[in-house]
Amino acid sequence: MTTVPRSALITGASAGIGAAFARHLAARGYQLLLVARRADRLHELAAQLTEQHKVRCEVFAADLTAPASPAAILRYADEQGLNIDVLINNAGLSGKTAFADTPWDTLAGEIQLMVTAQTEVVHRVIPGMKERRWGRIVNLSSVAAFAPPAASLLYTGIKSYVLNTSQALDMELKPHGIHVTALCPGFTHTEFHDVMGTRDKANHLPGILWQQPEAVVAEGWKAVQKGKPVCVPGLVNKISAAAMKPLPNRLAYLAGKTLNPFKNS
């Protein structure tokens, strides 16, 4: 009897942490569905991974700021016969201007991308994972989720939402064989700062604060496999997160689980 390889859906897969996750999972034999806006980047990466690791690698170009994208992505996966066993919710961005000076369409796109779309994709993959009694979900949060609110930016609040909802989902889904992890990296060597126009400021930060995306991915994947609901990769980030958050992650998770209003339903 031939065993079908497990499949992973990765959003924001064209560069940075998303591309690093694609390489990491391809090396472990996972079939991939790569999603991002830049189709040329996706096709180039897919060709590399297929050649290097002999894995199936599908590409779907989509802009997750468009409300119809999550349904379209999962519909395509179904048409290709891909059961999504692993979800890497990586697509993201950060605002570049003050809240009041930013057009509403831009702010709405930021919320759609990192709150609504991310949550909807999770919701759409859960039924299949529950049916198969196995699933792994990594939601990209940030060490910023532990920080005090930052003036003008939605980013800190959005990443706090991702952190908190990931832990809540892990509590609900772990009995079904599904692990959910909020991956909370700090400064990572990706294109993020180039896209956001903050490269000059980023270049003045000490080297000790930075991580390579491969290191972030390795620690994040290890965490979700072990069933850890929160992963803060790197010693410096761990110290920073612990200093900013009143309760250690594990105690906060256990407190929330104890207070779960649905646990007896």
**7-11 vs 84-89, strand pairing mode:** parallel
**Inter-residue contact 70 to 64 (CB < 8 Å):** yes
Please pick, among 30, 130, 155, 263, the residue that the annotation labels catalytic.
155
Length of the chain: 265
Structure tokens at 220: 């994040």
Token pair 């339903």 is found at: 265
Specify whether 30 is catalytic: no
- Residue 155 annotated to the active site: yes
Rounded to whole angstroms, what are the CA distances from 158 to 44, 57, 115, 131?
A: 31, 30, 7, 30
Cα 173 to Cα 189: distance, rounded to the nearest angstrom:
32
Place of tokens 């000490």: 206
Exposed e or buried b for every residue in 93-102, given b needs 16+ CB within 10 A?
bbbeeeeeeb
SS3 label, residue 222: helix
Q: How far apart are CA 57 and CA 167, in angstroms?
A: 30
Which residue in 30, 96, 159, 228 is the catalytic one?
A: 159
First CA to last CA distance, the chain? 40
Structure tokens at 15: 């560069």
Active-site residue list: 155, 159
